[in-house]
Structure 1
Amino acid sequence: MTHAVDLTVSEKRQLTPSSVELTFAVPEELHKSFAFKPGQYLTLSQEIDGDKVRRSYSLCSAPHQNTWKVGIKKVDKGLFSTWAHDIIYPGASIKVFAPEGKFTINPGPDDDQNYLAFAAGSGITPIMSMIQAVMAQAPRATFTLVYGNQSPEHTMFLKELEALEQLHPDRFKMILFYSRSSVPGTRFGRIESSSIKHLFLNDLNGTLFNQFLLCGPEQMIQTLKEILPEQGAKAENIHDELFFSTSEQAAELKQGQCALTIVLDGENTVLTVDKNTPVLDAALDHDLDPPYSCQGGICSSCIARVTHGQAQMIKNQILTDAEVAEGLVLTCQTLALSDELTVDYDEA
């Protein structure tokens, strides 16, 4: 499904002083289109103060629960998150795109893996879906969560996670870090290099982990990507989703214009654009409706395939080298290098 549908917010629940959980009522006829894997997200679209705004929020419910819930943390100057936190109410309608995302797992009866997840702040939302799925659908698997926040009051899903730990004491373990609160039974500080190494020498020592799931700010993920291989983790078993990006990669801007052909919904549209204009921006400027969400290169909503010409990405923290070699690009980050460029959304 490439177009959004109107869904009703059936429930709004306050999780912390700065975060809410929204539940969407998905009609039965859309259940197949909205089927999802643990870890995927929904893209929400809403007109706010005269501007159409899209944002992606991870599903925090698990597929077997047959519910569609997202967790939204209010961020400073965040247009959509502020609207969702302060304005939206049960019974309201929001345009929602079908679930997508590559940060997923596939637990089942034969799954006997040991999962290790690191999350910070709202990075818990996709991990929450994964934990519930593993506990319900993979009785032979275990799950260890290392979870960082400022304080218990600002910890999303704390009560639910504690309940899961009590229900599955042999299969689910949680290690909490608080940067601004000293709480018995938890760690004081952040999930950083020294604390991660200390965990592997102590709490995590003796368990052979098979899958590593990382979700949160860029610095935490980069640190973990450096340390985990030292602890025996294979690169193909380390999966991450970036929630906050601070890095800016420099791209060599090309002068001149490009004949850009955009293939979308079976139609070819030819545009004349500056080579230093991202493909997605060019499409939106010409009133096309390609899939997109974050516009910052940290989700996968705007993926397309370059089928003719040459292009470069300003930054890429989603696609693998193999996918890039196949021509896949994040169009919000894609600049033309050649005088002609064809980008196909339908073949992505």
Structure 2
Amino acid sequence: MPPLGNFVVQPSPKAARSLVLIGAGSGVTPLMAMLKAVLREEPQSHVLLIYGNRNEDSVIFQQQLDALEAGSRGRLQVEHVYSQPLHATAPHQHTGRVNRTTLLRILEQRHQFPAPQAEYYICGPDGLMTETQAALELLNVPTSRVHRESFVAAADTAEASATHGDVLAGTDDGPVTSRKVTIQYEGSEYVVDVPTGKTILDAALDEDIDLPYSCQAGLCTACRGKCLSGKVHLDEREGLSDAELAKGYVLTCVAHPLTADVVIEID
């Protein structure tokens, strides 16, 4: 799907700039278009792509990225971040998640990308964007140089905004800042505290619960589970059929609890 709003790069042959692209899973799709355009039309510009995935096998555009980097004469650098790598990490590969600690470490190693002067484009789930914003604030990056885009279908944007208003709705005891979600997986049961604005998957991973996932954009269905009770909002529904939705299936990477009694069973 195309990026929304002002989340675009206008190539200029005379430009000599540094771009830092940060994405996870399918969020790399609009970033790929950007880096290709800059490499093709701006011979004096440099691009750093920081790309998060579950493991080496879940990387989208792997062969294209390898070819582009090899032919860029040093103008493209790709840093992979794997939350659950299959092999020992090699140079330019990192273990963990795309959070502020990982980002600060990578950016500090890339001296040709001076933090305040570079342009930053972030595309992915809300958790990634929150962590990236925190890292860039620590580096004193001006907000005018930071461009963000949630990887959400345009048709769902209004619904997502309205529903998240419900998530933020207060109770007699004050505003709701989080909700408990029970997750049943591989014979174990976990109770996860899901803060407002975070997905169920992000909250579970923050507590080191090893749940299945891949794209983190609601497209691949690797994180599919069944909602046994309670109500859940999905930022993205394209990965599920109408029949699956009717049966209560959800994708934890784009799911937010709307009630305090959510129970999700993951096969």
The normalised TM-score by structure 2 is 0.54
CA-CA distance at 1:207 after TM superposition: 2.6
Matched, 1:58 2:2: yes
Match of 1:145 in 2: 49
- Compared with structure 1, are the counterparts of its residues 164 and 223 closer, same or farther at alpha carbon in structure 2 (3 Å cutoff)? same
Match of 1:227 in 2: 135
CA-CA distance at 1:297 after TM superposition: 8.3
- Compared with structure 1, are the counterparts of its residues 252 and 229 closer, same or farther at alpha carbon in structure 2 (3 Å cutoff)? closer
Matched residues, number: 160
Aligned pairs for 1:125-204 within 5 A: 125-181=29-85, 182=87, 183-185=89-91, 186-201=93-108, 203-204=109-110
Tell me if structure 2 keeps the 8 A contact 1:116–1:143. yes
Which protein has the bigger strand share? Answer: 1
CA-CA distance at 1:205 after TM superposition: 3.5
1:179 counterpart letter in structure 2: S
Higher RCO structure, 1 or 2 (CA under 8 Å, sep 6+) = 2
SS in 2 for 1:140: coil
Match of 1:249 in 2: 165
Q: How many angstroms apart in 2 are the aligned matches of 1:193 and 1:229?
A: 10
> Please, which of 93, 106, 116 is the counterpart of residue 20 of structure 2?
116
Tell me if structure 1 keeps the 8 A contact 2:98–2:131. no
Q: How many angstroms apart in 2 are the aligned matches of 1:121 and 1:193?
A: 18
Match of 1:107 in 2: 11
Aligned pairs for 1:296-307 within 5 A: none
Structure of larger gyration radius: 1
Match of 1:276 in 2: none
- Compared with structure 1, are the counterparts of its residues 139 and 206 closer, same or farther at alpha carbon in structure 2 (3 Å cutoff)? closer
Name stretches of at least 5 consecutive residues in structure 1 with no aligned partner. 1-56, 60-99, 254-294, 299-348
1:189-216 deviation per Cα after TM superposition (whole angstroms, max 9, x unaligned): 1111221122233x22353242100011
Q: How many angstroms apart in 2 are the aligned matches of 1:297 and 1:178?
A: 24
- Compared with structure 1, are the counterparts of its residues 252 and 199 closer, same or farther at alpha carbon in structure 2 (3 Å cutoff)? closer
Name stretches of at least 5 consecutive residues in structure 2 with no aligned partner. 153-159, 171-232, 237-267
Match of 2:111 in 1: 205
Match of 1:214 in 2: 122
The normalised TM-score by structure 1 is 0.42
Q: How many angstroms apart in 1 are the aligned matches of 2:20 and 2:76?
A: 10
1:199 counterpart letter in structure 2: I
Identity of aligned residues (%): 22
Tell me if structure 2 keeps the 8 A contact 1:199–1:205. no
SS in 2 for 1:248: helix
